[in-house]
């Protein structure tokens, strides 16, 4: 792998050069998804900790409508876990997106085809 | 606006050439799938293109033409104060119109109990849904308007923007700052609490201290030499009927003249 011009172990992480067009889609969509997931995570944390949370009320009503009484404690734990899952997913999307760069960008000296 | 398809880049072939981990190839495949369908990037590029084209067509301002931006940039926020006052005025107008549904300017009240006006304020602040918010919004926008109008005047003065051919608008501005303060004073009296009452008393005495015309002015504005129902009634009608029409008209003229003359750029 260290011989591959696409991967750059010296910089600490992988570094993959992609065409500019693809780089743009990666940047736009990964940022979009990362932001949405982090926001959703905060909504879930609210639902876990706030009694007046809209989402919490909605879920409680939904369970009540099908005849399932759900206690406060399990609901809190579930919301918290989902929140952490969303937060990790959002960060993950952003982190994976950050390893791509356009062909024109970055360290030219590490690129075999440009030396 | 329709988007023309660009020449297709062979993503699949390109991906096979590369040495990608499974996570990376799934990641890229998903994003490319989304990009092909939602095309957000293309629309962002249209916006970017539009931004540059619009900027190319704008005439150069004085400061750009003579390359003075590097010296004058710190003035620019102060050039927003006029708009800021106008926005505060609009916010106060809208929130005030809504407050008008609940307030009534009656100084009467059973002996020993608060006046109707004060009780309505209490109702707005404690019982009415979003009433606290509405009254706070009205009060804060009024405060902001007075402050912004005053700072706007300082900016105009210290940049010399009042000079020929803008003297007329400067005079109109002085009328407007006076109207703003009368707006503030009449509104301040409307709760008809202790603060309002004694502020009204000060107003009457200030009017009476004026030679010759003082008594006439006190009669006209306060409806007598002591504070009564007619004082509150006059303050109310000044605040919600007279001043809104006058101030809105004068503001329109003020902004219209700025529009015709263009803003006074720094030299």
**Domain assignment present for A111:** no
Measured between CB atoms, does B14 come within 8 Å of chain A? Answer: yes
Alpha carbons B217 and B225: distance in angstroms, whole number: 10
Question: Is A32 part of the contact surface with chain B (CB cutoff 8 Å)?
Answer: yes
Q: Taking CB atoms and an 8 Å limit, are B40 and A96 in contact across chains?
A: no
Contact call for residues B83 and B152 (beta carbons, < 8 A): no
Task: Record the tokens describing residue B138, joined without a space.
Answer: 């009205």
DSSP characters over chain A:
-TT-TT--STTSS--EEE-HHHHHHHHHHHHHHHHHHHHHHHHHHHHHH-TT-HHHHHHHHHHHHTT----HHHHHHHHHHHHHHHHHHHHHHHHHHTTEEETTSS-GGG-GGG-
Domain residue spans in chain B?
Answer: 11-58, 69-261
> How far is residue B253's CA from residue B145's CA, in Å, rounded to a whole number?
18
Q: What pLDDT score does B4 carry?
A: 62
- Higher per-residue confidence, B135 vs B16: B135
Residues of B whose CB is below 8 A from A32: 40
Residue bearing the bigger pLDDT, B200 or A73: B200
Please determine, for residue B23, whether its predicted confidence score (pLDDT) is greater than 80. Answer: yes
Indicate whether A27 belongs to any domain.
yes
Task: Say if the Cβ atoms of B27 and A24 lie within 8 Å.
Answer: no
Do A22 and B27 count as a contact with CB atoms less than 8 A apart? no
Residue B190's nearest CA partner among B93, B85, B96, B91 is B96
Task: Determine, yes or no, domain membership for A5.
Answer: no
* Residue B149 · residue B136 · CB < 8 Å: no
Report which of residues A72 and A59 the model is more confident about. Answer: A59
In 3D, which of B187, B167, B191, B193 has the Cα closest to residue B239?
Answer: B187
Closest-CA distance, B35 to chain A, in angstroms, reads 6
Residue B74 confidence (pLDDT) above 90: no
* Chain position carrying tokens 């020449």: B7
Q: At what angle do helices A20-49 and A72-97 cross, to 10 degrees?
A: 160
pLDDT > 90? residue B97: yes
CA distance A26 to chain B (A): 6
The model carries a pTM of 0.62
Q: How many domains, in total, are found in chain A?
A: 1
From the list A4, A21, A28, which residue is nearest B40 (CB)?
A: A28
Cβ neighbour number for residue A72 with a 10 Å cutoff: 10
- pLDDT for position B1: 52
Assess if residue A82 is contained within a domain: yes
| B246 closest CA partner among B194, B166, B182, B197 | B182
Q: Place B7 in a pLDDT band, splitting at 50, 70 and 90.
A: low
Q: Are B11 and A22 inside 8 Å of each other by CB?
A: yes
Domain, as residue range, for A90: 16-105
How far apart CA B146 and CA B151 sit, in angstroms, is 9
- Render pLDDT for B157-173 as a digit per residue (tens, 0 to 9): 998 999 989 999 999 99
Helices (H) and strands (E) in chain B, counts: 13, 0
**Chain B contact for A24, CB < 8 A?**
yes
Model confidence band, residue A9 (pLDDT cutoffs 50, 70, 90): very low
B228-258 tens-digit pLDDT: 999 999 999 999 999 999 999 999 999 999 9
Question: What's the token pair of residue B161?
Answer: 């923007």
Residue A115 included in any domain: no
Assign a CATH topology to domain B69-261.
Cytochrome Bc1 Complex; Chain C (1.20.810)
Tell whether B37 is within 8 A of chain A (Cβ). no
pLDDT (tens digit per residue) in B32-49: 899 889 989 999 999 999
Taking CB atoms and an 8 Å cut-off, how many pairs form between chains A and B? Answer: 42
């Amino acid at each position: 792998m260290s011989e591959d011009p696409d991967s750059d172990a010296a910089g600490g992480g992988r570094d993959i050069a992609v065409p500019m067009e693809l780089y743009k889609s990666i940047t736009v969509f990964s940022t979009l998804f990362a932001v949405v997931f982090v926001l959703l995570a905060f909504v879930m944390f609210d639902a876990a900790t706030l009694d007046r949370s809209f989402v919490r009320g909605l879920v409680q009503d939904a369970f009540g409508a099908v005849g399932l009484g759900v206690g406060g404690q399990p609901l809190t734990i579930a919301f918290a876990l989902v929140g952490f899952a969303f937060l990790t997913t959002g960060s993950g999307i952003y982190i994976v997106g950050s390893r791509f760069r356009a062909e024109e960008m970055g360290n030219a000296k590490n690129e075999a085809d440009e030396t | 606006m329709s988007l023309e398809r660009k020449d297709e880049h062979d993503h699949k072939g390109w991906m096979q050439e590369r040495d990608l981990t499974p996570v990376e190839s799934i990641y890229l495949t998903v994003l490319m799938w989304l990009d092909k369908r939602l095309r957000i990037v293309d629309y962002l590029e249209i916006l970017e293109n539009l931004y540059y084209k619009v900027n190319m067509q704008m005439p150069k301002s004085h400061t750009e033409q003579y390359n003075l931006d590097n010296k004058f940039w710190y003035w620019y926020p102060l050039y927003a104060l006029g708009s800021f006052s106008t926005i505060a005025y609009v916010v106060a107008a809208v929130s005030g119109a809504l407050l008008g549904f609940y307030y009534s300017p009656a100084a009467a009240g059973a002996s020993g109990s608060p006046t109707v006006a004060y009780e309505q304020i209490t109702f707005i602040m404690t019982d009415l849904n979003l009433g606290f918010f509405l009254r706070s919004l009205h009060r804060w926008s009024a405060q902001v308007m007075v402050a912004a109008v005053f700072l706007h005047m300082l900016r105009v003065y210290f940049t010399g923007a009042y000079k020929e051919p803008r003297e007329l608008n400067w005079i109109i501005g002085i009328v407007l700052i006076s109207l703003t303060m009368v707006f503030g004073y009449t509104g301040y009296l409307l709760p008809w609490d202790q603060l309002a009452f004694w502020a009204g008393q000060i107003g009457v005495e200030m009017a009476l201290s004026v030679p010759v015309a003082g008594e006439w002015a006190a009669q006209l504005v306060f409806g007598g030499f002591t504070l009564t129902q007619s004082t509150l009634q006059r303050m109310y009608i000044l605040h919600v009927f007279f001043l809104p029409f006058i101030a809105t008209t004068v503001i329109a003229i003020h902004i219209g003249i700025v529009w015709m003359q263009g803003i006074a750029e720094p030299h």
